[in-house]
Structure 1
Amino acid sequence: MAKIIKIPSAFVYESKVVGVSHANADGTSRQEIIRREVAEDDPLFLELEPENEFDPNAVKVLSRKRNQIGYLKTELAEQVRSALINQTTIYARALWVNGEKMLGVGIRIELVS
């Protein structure tokens, strides 16, 4: 007898986390957080920031310890925002971490329906 396995459909996005060179509102260094708390394949978390004065659709990117390391690019944030509001299953992970003086982080996001 055959076993049927339903595989959910997913949308996959890969991008660079932006704003990694800025300090957080509490003064913590995003660069130091990345250095301490982010490695390739680590889980990352996404959080809406509707009170953001520059972009009400802003989506924060958080480390595995839930400290902010930056934001999603505006065009990607618009797509992910509705998934966050609708509580769609979202998997996000660090695709890469690189740089010498300034660390950058790549992110892979899977929205599963």
Structure 2
Amino acid sequence: MKRFFLVIVLAILTMVAIAQEPYKAYCEIVGTGNIIYILLGVFIFYIIVKCAGKDIRNAQERERRNRAYEEKKIVEDLKAYKEKQLDEYLKVGYSFTIKGIYYRTENEIKRAQQIKMDDSLFLEFEPDNIYDSNAIKVLTEDKIHIGYVPSKSCETVKLLIERSSGYDISVYVKIDSEDDIPYILAKINFKMSN
């Protein structure tokens, strides 16, 4: 509405300036006629700048809204993908490499070396861990701490455990190495209630 009003005022001023054409010769002699054209030019320039500024602000606001919508859509798509991925893990299981064996005590490392394929393992949440409050310990059947679930997998493992009605975890692959620190891949199979 404001823009319409400004355009009407501009049109009226332009018509007034054109209508004063006979008056122009007199004004040139007096020297005041150019002031009207200068004021008219300044006014037109002001209107153009004002309208352009509003258009720029509107375009920036549209761009901001579009960006916010796109970011929201990406987050929703990622959530949907993660949900689908979690459902798949619940069906087929989740595998991870046991981390931190190297940092365990000598007795804990020896116990990790004695592990065999299909041995059962246990998980224990460790919320007071000084390095990672999401840490999950991996324990043997005799409750010896041999390592951790990788930090990048802890959130996923917690979500899967919460969604399942129970789980079994066992040694899936074990490879002995030259430095006496075994590579152990564990697999969690989830139980689902009907």
TM-score in terms of structure 1 length: 0.77
CA contact (8 A) 2:97 2:150 kept: yes
- RMSD value, Cα: 2.1
Runs of 4+ in 1 over 4 A off after TM superposition: 83-87
Q: CA deviation at 1:85?
A: 5.7
What CA distance in whole angstroms lies between the structure 1 residues aligned with 2:127 and 2:191?
23
Number of equivalenced pairs:
101
Pair member with larger Rg: 2
Match of 1:106 in 2: 185
Question: Where does structure 1 lack aligned partners over 5 or more consecutive residues?
Answer: 1-8
Q: CA deviation at 1:81?
A: 2.0
| More strand, by proportion | 1
Question: Residue 81 of structure 1 is aligned with which of 158, 161, 171?
Answer: 158
| More helix, by proportion | 2
What CA distance in whole angstroms lies between the structure 2 residues aligned with 1:48 and 1:85?
12
Question: Where does structure 2 lack aligned partners over 5 or more consecutive residues?
Answer: 1-89
Change (3 A) 1:67 1:56: same
1:63-99 alpha-carbon deviations (Å, 9 max, x no partner) = 1211111000112211222455677301100012212
**Percentage of matched positions with identical amino acids:** 23
Match of 1:3 in 2: none
Match of 1:4 in 2: none
What CA distance in whole angstroms lies between the structure 2 residues aligned with 1:50 and 1:96?
28
What CA distance in whole angstroms lies between the structure 2 residues aligned with 1:52 and 1:84?
20
